[in-house]
Amino acid sequence: MMMTDPGRILLVGWRNLHSATGEWQLIANRAAAVYEATGIRTEAAVFVNMKKHRDKPRVTHPAGLQVQIVDASLNRLPIAYLETIQWLRARRERTRAVVFSGLPSYPLVRLVSKWGIPVFGDVHGAYEEMKEFGRHVKPVNYALVRICNLWEASATRQLTARLVVSRALAEHSRRMHGNVPCVVIPCGVKSVCENSLELRQIWRERHGWQGKTVWVYCGGLSVWQWVDRVIAQFSEYTPGGDNVLWLITPDTALCHEKCLAAGIPRERFRSETLLPDEIQERLPAGDIGFLLRDDNVTNHVAFPNKFAQYVNAGLLTVLTRGLSEPATLSMEYGASIVLDSPWTSLSMQPWQTILSEALARREGGMSAFHASCHALVKDHLVYSRTARPLIDAL
């Protein structure tokens, strides 16, 4: 008996799906959840500047996601658009929806807006990032934000809905672009890590971390991620102690230098690069996971992948109020400490007492703490649940 083809979703984007980036994790896990629930695969054509990424390892995509990298180096950008237009037209048949991810893909919205199928915009953050962390002088950064918002507003009118990572981003989108429906799918995880306690014991034994408190930073080294502040917090809070700082990051050599410069002995920190699946397996070995961000628009609307990974691993998450939605969620389930700002010192009262008491409660009720973390993930962060509104719209 011949099986019926359930069709496909097309995704056109200016996203780095060549490497294991945060945006790759969101798109790949969302596509995998749709495929597992419906059999509908996602076929993506993404613009990537291969001059920057050609030598980097290429990520392995999950079942249900096929990716065609379109070399969008500056000298062949017009060709890249023509190739993508041809790619779209060749796949119109049996396409259930089209997703446009990243502002440079929006000129192609008009091409598919009359196909009679859902057309989604895929929004991971706010353009205010260019104003708050921009590389140019202030007037140029402000002008860029204004131009990008106007450009997106013109495309938004042709969208069925926008896929956003937080309720705060949905509210921001409505303020900037009008009352376009938003589907909130936060950056989450594929499944609940039910065996996190078992993995904790295995990896702590392998690393020789029994009886130690392990501080974890997992992420990149951009200035807005405040890895320097995490290193400083560790140095201030645990001077001369037997605790460990574990840095999971793409640039291990730079982290090594930063730790030594902060006066942390070599035996008290570990710096390494792990793949996403390796991170989820090994992360339960830690105790405290750090997400420090400034309080601004960029962070207010954000929902970092690392939050879900920390919580799923059963870590006590230390984050700042700038990450408003993760902070609210984790406080509701008792899974976090929320600092006023990245510069709040954990070595000073009352935060030293608060952190010590939170760690003691976690240590004294480890099973209950992990169960509470897993409940948060199951209720709000597992893609099989959070992607359901998108699945229902197909």
Coil/strand/helix, residue 235: helix
- Compute the distance between CA of residue 147 and CA of residue 170 in angstroms, rounded to an integer: 20
Supply the pLDDT for residue 1. Answer: 44
Indicate the domain borders of the chain: 8-188+384-393, 196-380
pTM score, whole prediction:
0.93
- 8-188+384-393 and 196-380, same CATH topology: yes
- Cα angle for residues 148, 149, 153 (degrees, 5° grid): 120
Pairing of strands 41-48, 8-13: parallel
The domain 8-188+384-393 is classified under which CATH number: 3.40.50.880, 3.30.930.10, 3.40.50.2000, 3.40.50.150? 3.40.50.2000
Supply the pLDDT for residue 222. Answer: 84
Q: Does domain 196-380 have CATH number 2.170.130.10?
A: no
Give tens-digit pLDDT for 132-183: 887 777 888 889 888 888 888 888 889 999 999 999 999 999 988 888 899 9
Supply the pLDDT for residue 201. Answer: 97
For residue 73, give both structure tokens: 């180096």
Q: Which residues of the chain have pLDDT under 70?
A: 1-3, 52-55, 57
Supply the pLDDT for residue 37. Answer: 96
Q: What phi and psi, each to the nearest 5 degrees, are found at residue 333?
A: -100, 5
219: left (phi over 0), alpha (psi -120 to 50) or beta: left
Coil/strand/helix, residue 208: coil
CB-neighbour burial class of residue 175 (10 A; exposed 0-12, middle 13-18, buried 19+): exposed
Give tens-digit pLDDT for 217-232: 999 888 889 999 999 9
Give tens-digit pLDDT for 333-356: 999 999 999 989 998 889 989 999
